[in-house]
C-alpha cells in the first residue's frame, strides 16, 4: 500500500463520480500560481462536503481556513436557496486569491470572506449576535482546533454539524509524545469532544491524494 496507489484510486474514482469542473480547476490553478500551498481538500473530499451540505439542507455555513476558496466553492454551491457562507482566513493574500476565485465561480453574493485570526473572527461573530450556523467546517491552523471547537459549539445550532479536517496526521494522533503541534492539537480536541455532552461524534481515517489523514464529524445535540 502506497501513496501512489491511494492517489491513483483517488484520481480514478474522482474521474468517474466527481468529474471535471472548469471553475474548480481554475481555482486550483490560480491558487497554485499565486504560491498557495497545495493543501486544499481533494476533489473527492470536496464532493463529500458538498453532499453533506445538501443532505443536511444547510443554509448557513461557517468555514475556518479559506486558503484559495476551493472547499468554499464546493460547499457554497450546495447551499439551500437563500443560504450563505462565512469563511475565515488569516492571510490577506490568500483571502484575495479566494475572493477572485469566488468571483469567477459567481458565488461572491453568497460568501463573505473575513480576514484575520479565526479566534478573533469567531468572537466577533458571537458579539455581533449572528444567527447560529447549520454546518461548521474547521480547517485552519491545527494546533488551535480545541479553541475553535469550543467557539464553534457556541455558534452552531442544535442539530447542526461540525466537521473537523486533518485529525489523523499520518497517525501521529495516537502518539502521546508526538512533537507535531497539529497532532497535539487534535489529541486535545478529541479529548474535549469526548467529554462534551453537547456532541455525538465519530472519527473517519482516510487515504488518498492527500496521504493518510482523516476527519471528525460531530452532531450538536439539542
Ligand atoms: N479549507 C481549505 C484549506 C485550508 S488550509 C480548502 O480545503 O480549500 C488552512 C488555512 O488556514 C490556510 O489558508 C491558513 O492560512 C489558514 N490559517 C492558518 N492559521 C489561521 C488562523 N489563525 N486563522 C484563520 N486562518 C488560519
Ligand atoms: C495542512 C492543512 C490542511 O488543512 C490540510 O488539509 C493538509 C495539510 C497543513 O497545514 O500542512
Ligand atoms: Mg484540511
Q: Which CATH topology does 3-220 take?
A: Rossmann fold (3.40.50)
pLDDT at 222: 76
pLDDT at 170: 97
Tell me the CA–centroid distance for residue 119 and ligand 2, in Å.
18
Report which bound ligand comes closest to the CA of 63: 1
Q: How many angstroms separate the CA atoms of 131 and 109, rounded?
A: 18
pLDDT at 77: 98
> pLDDT tens, 55-72?
999 999 999 999 999 999
Answer whether residue 1 shows pLDDT above 80: no
pLDDT at 25: 98
Q: What are the start-end ranges of the H helices in 57-180?
A: 70-76, 92-104, 118-128, 145-155
**Atom in ligand 2 nearest the alpha carbon of residue 139:** 4
> pLDDT tens, 112-167?
999 999 999 999 999 999 999 999 999 999 999 999 999 999 999 999 999 999 99
Report which bound ligand comes closest to the CA of 118: 1
> pLDDT tens, 78-105?
999 999 999 999 999 999 999 999 999 9
pLDDT at 121: 98
Answer whether residue 45 shows pLDDT above 90: yes
Q: Considering only CA atoms, which residue is closest to atom 17 of ligand 1?
A: 140
165 lines ligand 2 (CB under 6 A): yes
Q: What is the mean pLDDT of residues 19-42?
A: 98
**Atom in ligand 2 nearest the alpha carbon of residue 65:** 4
Q: Considering only CA atoms, which residue is closest to atom 6 of ligand 2?
A: 39
pLDDT at 17: 98
Q: How many angstroms separate the CA atoms of 154 and 148, rounded?
A: 10
185: CB partners within 8 A, 6+ apart: 142, 143, 144, 145, 146
Q: What is the mean pLDDT of residues 31-54?
A: 98
Report which bound ligand comes closest to the CA of 39: 2
Q: Which three cell numbers stand for residue 137?
A: 467546517
> pLDDT tens, 171-218?
999 999 999 999 999 999 999 999 999 999 999 999 999 999 999 999
Where in the chain are the domains?
A: 3-220
Tell me the CA–centroid distance for residue 210 and ligand 2, in Å.
9
Tell me the CA–centroid distance for residue 222 and ligand 3, in Å.
28
Q: Considering only CA atoms, which residue is closest to atom 19 of ligand 1?
A: 141
- DSSP class of residue 67 equals T
Torsion of CA 145, 183, 198, 164, to 10 degrees: 60
The best mutation among 36, 44, 52, 65 to test binding of ligand 1, ranked by most ligand atoms within 8 Å of the C-beta, falls on 65
122 lines ligand 1 (CB under 6 A): no
Amino acid at each position: 500500500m502506497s501513496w501512489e496507489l491511494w492517489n491513483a484510486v483517488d484520481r480514478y474514482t474522482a474521474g468517474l463520480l466527481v468529474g471535471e469542473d472548469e471553475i474548480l480547476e481554475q481555482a486550483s490553478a490560480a491558487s497554485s500560481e499565486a504560491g498557495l500551498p497545495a493543501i486544499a481538500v481533494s476533489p473527492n473530499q470536496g464532493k463529500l462536503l458538498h453532499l453533506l451540505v445538501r443532505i443536511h439542507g444547510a443554509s448557513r455555513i461557517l468555514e475556518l481556513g479559506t486558503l484559495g476558496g476551493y472547499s468554499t466553492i464546493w460547499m457554497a454551491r450546495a447551499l439551500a436557496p437563500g443560504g450563505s457562507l462565512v469563511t475565515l482566513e488569516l492571510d490577506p493574500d490568500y483571502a484575495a486569491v479566494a475572493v477572485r476565485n469566488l468571483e469567477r465561480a459567481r458565488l461572491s453574493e453568497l460568501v463573505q470572506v473575513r480576514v484575520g485570526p479565526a479566534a478573533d473572527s469567531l468572537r466577533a461573530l458571537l458579539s455581533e449576535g449572528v444567527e447560529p450556523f447549520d454546518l461548521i467546517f474547521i480547517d485552519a491552523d491545527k494546533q488551535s482546533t480545541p479553541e475553535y471547537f469550543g467557539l464553534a459549539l457556541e455558534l452552531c445550532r442544535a442539530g447542526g454539524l461540525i466537521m473537523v479536517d486533518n485529525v489523523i496526521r499520518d497517525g501521529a494522533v495516537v502518539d502521546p509524545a508526538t512533537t507535531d503541534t497539529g497532532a497535539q492539537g487534535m489529541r486535545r480536541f478529541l479529548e474535549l469532544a469526548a467529554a462534551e455532552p453537547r456532541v455525538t461524534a465519530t472519527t473517519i481515517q482516510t487515504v488518498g491524494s492527500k496521504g493518510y489523514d482523516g476527519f471528525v464529524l460531530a452532531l450538536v445535540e439539542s
